[in-house]
Amino acid sequence: MIKFRFEALDPTAAKLEKLASRARLAVAAVEAVNLVTKRADESLRRGEIQNINLSPAYVKSKTDVSLAESGGAPRAEIVTKGDPTILGRFAPLTRMLDPNRLDSIGRRLGGRSAGTRVAIVKSKVETQSPWFIMRLRSGNGPGENYGVFVRDDRLPARNGPNPSLAGGRHRDGKAGKRHIYGPSPYQLFKHQIQIQADQIQADLARTALDRMGDAFEDALR
């Protein structure tokens, strides 16, 4: 889990905190923080999926926004969960060999799998011959019903390894399965914070000045 607190943006946030003791300015401070938080949330999520094949709905489901409360301190935060993203979210496809393809001595190979195709990055299809797709028992929504796996000698066989085989291979000679994951919203969010932090800081300073100016004008009327 990663948090981005708007109270941590200095020096503007510190000044807003001091002004919070004055009723109208306190309202202006909360308004400024909430406006910037909402804009930052949209901008960060848009950046997360700019080049990555994740749906906006999925990224939004992993993000929680807590706005500043009326009458409270001008403090808000955006929290993104660090759950790993299974490759089922990227719509993987099994690449099949030509069923009429022949081996070196003329035998028909049939429609065997030639690996898995997946586009994690937009406009970039990647094919991994060792990967294969399996249905997941715990899938509970779109993109959660299938996972992508690879055989790994370092993992124990689920049904018990054959002691006569190297590593953790099954009795049929196959190694244990390892689940393959793509970039998580947590990782993408963390990267976008590094890119957009200065821009968000500037937006907060600008919006705070606008709201404070409105508050002073109201007070002088």
CB atoms within 10 A of CB 116: 22
Q: Would you say residue 17 has pLDDT above 60?
A: no
> What are the CA-CA distances from residue 17 to residues 29, 219, 220 (Å)?
8, 19, 22
Q: Would you say residue 10 has pLDDT above 60?
A: no
pLDDT attached to residue 15: 58
In the chain, the N- to C-terminal Cα span, in Å, equals 46
Q: Would you say residue 175 has pLDDT above 90?
A: no
Q: Taking CA 9 as the corner, what is the angle to CA 4 and CA 63, rounded to the nearest 5 degrees?
A: 15
pLDDT attached to residue 209: 86
Domain boundaries, the chain: 2-83+185-220, 86-182
Q: Would you say residue 101 has pLDDT above 60?
A: no
**Helix/strand/coil for 17:** helix
- Answer with the residue of higher pLDDT: 107 or 197: 197
Query: Which residues face 132 on adjacent strands?
Result: 149
Q: What is the mean predicted confidence (pLDDT) over 21-31?
A: 78
pLDDT attached to residue 67: 95
Mean pLDDT of the chain: 77
pLDDT attached to residue 170: 47
- Answer with the residue of higher pLDDT: 183 or 10: 183
Looking at the chain, the whole-number percentage of residues with pLDDT higher than 70 is 67
pLDDT attached to residue 165: 39
Q: What is the mean predicted confidence (pLDDT) over 18-45?
A: 84
Tokens of 26: 């306190």
Helix or strand (DSSP H, E) at 169: none
pLDDT attached to residue 166: 43
Q: Would you say residue 115 has pLDDT above 80?
A: no
φ, ψ dihedrals at 41, nearest 5°: -60, -45
- Residue of 182, 156, 19 whose CA lies nearest to 85: 182
